[in-house]
Amino acid sequence: MGNKTLKLWLTLSAIFIISGITVGVVLYSLYQDEVLVERITVIRERLASLASIRTWVIDSETARRGYLITGNASFLEPLAAARERLTDTQKTLRSQLIADASMLELNSTLERQITLHYEHIKATLARAAQGNFSQAEQMVSRGQDQKIMEQIRGVIGEMEAYHQDKLIVASEDRRAVMLWARLATIALGGLILVLITTLAYIIDRELRLRELYQKELNQEVERLAAELRERAEELDTLSTYLQNSIEKERAQLARDLHDEFGGLLTALKIELAWIEGKAEAYDGTLMERTRQVSERVNALIDLKRRVIENLRPSLLDNLGVEAALSWYAKDVTERAGLALELDIDTMAERPASEISIALFRIAQEAISNTLKYAQATTVRLSLKMQNQQLRLMIADNGVGIDLGARAGKTLTHGLAGMKHRALTLRGKFFIESAPGRGTSIIAEIPYQSSVVKPLERRTQSPVPAQPNSAFARESASG
């Protein structure tokens, strides 16, 4: 991937560099063209000035000859106008030639010739003004003015030829610059097109490779997710198996305690009763000690009963989950000194055994947590049938739990065990709590789940308190 990225950056850099060169070539060509256009404009302005000077000189000569031939003074007006315009044009040309020494020298010669020409015109007009038109015509016919005119034309022609050559060179230079600019632009544009095509190929290939890598990554993620689901299902199956095994072991242990240990205690009680009857006739002290031993045996029998009921409540199998929950809640809260509120519906038909034991164990764990951590004074236990759902709730008025601070954290083993029991039976599990507002443990299990299919994994996570809710709510849905 590093080499591909390097190629991509090198191609982009080449495109930017060549684009910059292209822009530079175009700008330089435009600059050269502007310089040449300015030079051509200056040359054309000089040529225009020379043409104007020729025109004004010819107009002056024409006006003089017309006046001398006709004697009409109206010819003198064009002569004066031509002289005035010729003077302005000479000044303009002189400023245009300021940077060209050779042309300034020729222009000085031209100005001397024009000055001499106008002195001859002035002399002939002066003779004509005295009425000597014949002398004035003789002065013109001597050929000196014609010679001056030829010299003026020759200087102007030389200057025009010089500038025409300069104009041709400048025009050819301009065409060469524009041609070179076009060729350079075409070449650089073609190179840019090749680089852009290469870049497009690299990007397309990179995208295809990324798409391939992404596809492979997605496949790997799916494989790992499937493997993770499989492992999770195996763990859940194992957890369910362990719970069922524990329940079976508890039931077996309860039966053994009841049958064997209970039988021994009963026999011991009978023996003590016999000893107590015999001891009454012999020794009062022995009678008292025998009675104390009998009381301890009674306490041991009571302890055996509580242990058996905790392991596997006989009420659960004999009278159902309602009676088992009532007995357990009353027994525990009375010994702990807590107030108890019971609200248990009587069911027409008993739930399946696995549902009954799950409800009992959830209640047992929830009340145990209340006694350990809640610092509560009242416990409320309810079991309701709602829409073919058995809804078990154990609530207290204790210190509560800050579920917001626990967001994202794993559940404790006790809560995780309750949740797993509910989910195993396709049920739901909730925790509602807030600091100082007590805690409610809620489990909802379908009543028609007496035949449980193989476990289906159902993921749940604690849900932090909603902003507008008085209680935080942790939800686990099957």
Residues 332 and 461 in one domain: yes
Residues 328 and 185 in one domain: no
In a domain, 47, yes or no: yes
Q: Using 50, 70 and 90 to split pLDDT, how confident is the model at 109?
A: confident
In a domain, 227, yes or no: no
Residues 42 and 178 in one domain: yes
Contact 449, 355 (CB under 8 A): yes
Q: Which pLDDT tens digit goes with each residue over 74-99?
A: 777 877 888 888 888 888 888 888 88
Q: Using 50, 70 and 90 to split pLDDT, how confident is the model at 265?
A: confident
In a domain, 382, yes or no: yes
Contact 105, 163 (CB under 8 A): no
Report the CATH number at residue 182.
Answer: 1.20.120.1730
Distances (CA, A) of 113 to 48, 53, 58, 110: 19, 12, 13, 5
Domain-terminating residue out of 157, 172, 207? 207
Long-range contact list for 238-244, CB < 8 A, 24+ apart?
A: 239/420, 240/420, 240/424, 240/455, 243/417, 243/420, 243/421, 243/424
Long-range contact list for 48-55, CB < 8 A, 24+ apart?
A: 49/89, 49/92, 49/93, 49/96, 50/93, 50/156, 50/159, 50/160, 50/163, 51/160, 52/85, 52/89, 53/86, 53/89, 53/90, 53/93, 53/110, 53/114, 53/156, 54/152, 54/153, 54/156
Q: Which pLDDT tens digit goes with each residue over 6-34?
A: 766 777 777 778 778 877 877 887 888 88
Q: What pLDDT score does 260 carry?
A: 72
Domain-terminating residue out of 175, 207, 239? 207
In a domain, 152, yes or no: yes
Report the CATH number at residue 378.
Answer: 3.30.565.10
Q: What pLDDT score does 19 carry?
A: 77
Residues 202 and 318 in one domain: no
Structural domains of the chain, count: 2
Q: Using 50, 70 and 90 to split pLDDT, how confident is the model at 476?
A: very low
Q: What pLDDT score does 460 carry?
A: 40
Q: What is the mean pLDDT of the chain?
A: 79
Q: Which pLDDT tens digit goes with each residue over 189-210?
A: 888 888 888 878 878 888 888 8
Residues 173 and 50 in one domain: yes
Domain-terminating residue out of 207, 230, 265? 207
Task: Compare 477 and 278 and report the one with higher pLDDT.
Answer: 278
Q: Which pLDDT tens digit goes with each residue over 361-375?
A: 899 899 999 998 888
Taking Cα atoms as reference points, which of 329, 361, 327 lies closest to residue 445?
361
Q: Is pLDDT of 454 > 60?
A: no
Q: Which token pair is 421?
A: 């029991």
Q: What pLDDT score does 284 carry?
A: 64
Domain region containing 427: 314-476
In a domain, 406, yes or no: yes
Mean pLDDT of the region 380-402: 90
Mean pLDDT of the region 318-337: 88
Q: Using 50, 70 and 90 to split pLDDT, how confident is the model at 377?
A: very high
Residues 22 and 152 in one domain: yes
Q: Is pLDDT of 329 > 80?
A: yes
Residues 333 and 468 in one domain: yes
Q: Which token pair is 475?
A: 């939800």
Q: Is pLDDT of 469 > 60?
A: no
Q: Is pLDDT of 477 > 80?
A: no
Residues 134 and 10 in one domain: yes
Q: What pLDDT score does 473 carry?
A: 41
Mean pLDDT of the region 211-217: 90
Tokens 């027994």, residue located = 331
Contact 467, 396 (CB under 8 A): no
Q: Using 50, 70 and 90 to split pLDDT, how confident is the model at 2?
A: low
In a domain, 394, yes or no: yes
Q: What pLDDT score does 461 carry?
A: 38
In a domain, 284, yes or no: no
Strand, helix or coil at 389? strand
Q: Which pLDDT tens digit goes with each residue over 180-194?
A: 888 888 888 888 888
In a domain, 268, yes or no: no
Q: Is pLDDT of 457 > 60?
A: no
Decide the pairing of beta strands 339-344 and 378-386.
parallel
Rank 38-52, 128-142, 229-243, 302-316 by mean pLDDT and report only the highest: 38-52
Q: What pLDDT score does 467 carry?
A: 35
Mean pLDDT of the region 416-432: 87
Q: Which pLDDT tens digit goes with each residue over 64-75?
A: 777 777 777 777
